[in-house]
């Protein structure tokens, strides 16, 4: 029997039992791809990560959803950086190698910030009416410029009329698979809207939700850093005035409220930040 230590963390969390949960295995060098995938399914969280050595960054991170490996994801990258700092004693600045490239990260206390890749964009072939049917809302609630955005993970970014429209979404799994599957055949859809309230100290406020499919059923993610980065990419591509800062609320309907922070600077660089809280450690014996 071999023991594999892991940690459990909550990312984008404003309290210990909020945020998006993450399991991080401290060493994945001896694990096969098949075993990593099986462990991710065993934990059955949005993502489980595995730290492995890197020749080009502080460490390399492998990121697994329960049923597939991901090239990049925001909350696993932030949470893994928190563990890497603890394990390696590398201070508040480090880099993580992902399949999507080298991601620079920095921390102030337990608030971590990543710099996302420059965005790529492509148009969706679905009409506003088709997207509305997919989401279970009225066509007039879909705003202009729904786009596929890739700042590390390609997702369909759809701006809606208001936060009520975001909260009313009840996606159809068949239509979600048809209209919301990216170039890799993975269904990833992000909806968002501005809140009609004065900006706070973290800038304008946004409400968002993120949907994907698991074994044919619609699943909602509590807090999605890659989608937040893609929102930054959407704002760049649609020529929003820069610089800007957004405070993004997600996960309210999942019972796991998340608060994400998005900054896009005058050079079109995209930064996503959030608090990370470690809540437990353990070992798997195999």
For residue 47, indicate whether it is catalytic. yes
Cβ density class 87-102: b for 16+ within 10 Å, e for less = eeeeeeebbbbbebee
CA dihedral of 227, 256, 166, 237, whole degrees rounded to 10: -20
Per DSSP, helices labelled H in 115-162 are 128-135
Helix (H) or strand (E) holding 122: strand 120-123
Residues 157/177, Cβ–Cβ less than 8 Å: no
Active-site entry in 47, 97, 195, 241? 47
Q: Which residue from 65, 69, 120, 75 is spatially nearest to 96, judged by alpha carbons?
A: 75
Residue 246 burial by CB count (10 A; 0-12/13-18/19+): exposed, middle or buried? buried
Residue 114 DSSP SS3: strand
Tokens 């508040």 label which residue? Answer: 92
Buried b (16+ CB within 10 A) or exposed e, 186-195: bbbbbbbbbb
Active site residues: 47
């Amino acid at each position: 029997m071999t023991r594999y230590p892991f940690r459990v963390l909550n990312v984008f969390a404003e309290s210990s039992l909020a945020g998006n949960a993450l399991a991080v295995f401290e060493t994945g060098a001896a694990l096969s791809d098949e075993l990593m995938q099986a462990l991710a399914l065993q934990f059955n969280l949005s993502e489980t990560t595995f730290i492995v050595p890197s020749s080009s960054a502080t460490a390399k991170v492998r990121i697994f959803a329960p049923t597939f490996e991901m090239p990049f994801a925001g909350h696993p990258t932030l949470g893994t950086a928190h563990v890497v700092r603890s394990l390696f004693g590398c201070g508040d600045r480090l880099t993580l190698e992902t399949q999507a490239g080298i991601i620079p990260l920095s921390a102030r206390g337990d608030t971590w910030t990543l710099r996302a890749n420059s965005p790529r964009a492509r148009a969706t072939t679905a009409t506003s009416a088709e997207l509305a049917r997919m989401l279970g809302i009225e066509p007039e609630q879909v705003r202009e410029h729904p786009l596929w955005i890739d700042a590390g993970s390609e997702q369909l970014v759809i701006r809606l009329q208001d936060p009520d429209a975001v909260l009313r979404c009840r996606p159809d799994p068949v239509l979600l698979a048809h209209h919301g599957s990216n170039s890799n055949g993975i269904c990833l859809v992000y909806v968002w809207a501005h809140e009609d309230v004065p900006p706070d100290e973290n800038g304008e406020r946004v409400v968002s939700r993120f949907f994907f499919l698991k074994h044919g059923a619609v699943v909602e993610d509590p807090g999605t850093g890659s989608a937040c980065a893609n929102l930054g990419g959407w704002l760049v591509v649609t020529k929003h005035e820069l610089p800007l800062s957004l405070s993004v609320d997600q996960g309210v309907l999942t019972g796991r409220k998340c608060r994400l922070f998005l900054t896009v600077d005058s050079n079109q660089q995209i930064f996503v930040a959030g608090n990370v809280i470690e809540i437990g450690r353990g070992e798997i014996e195999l």
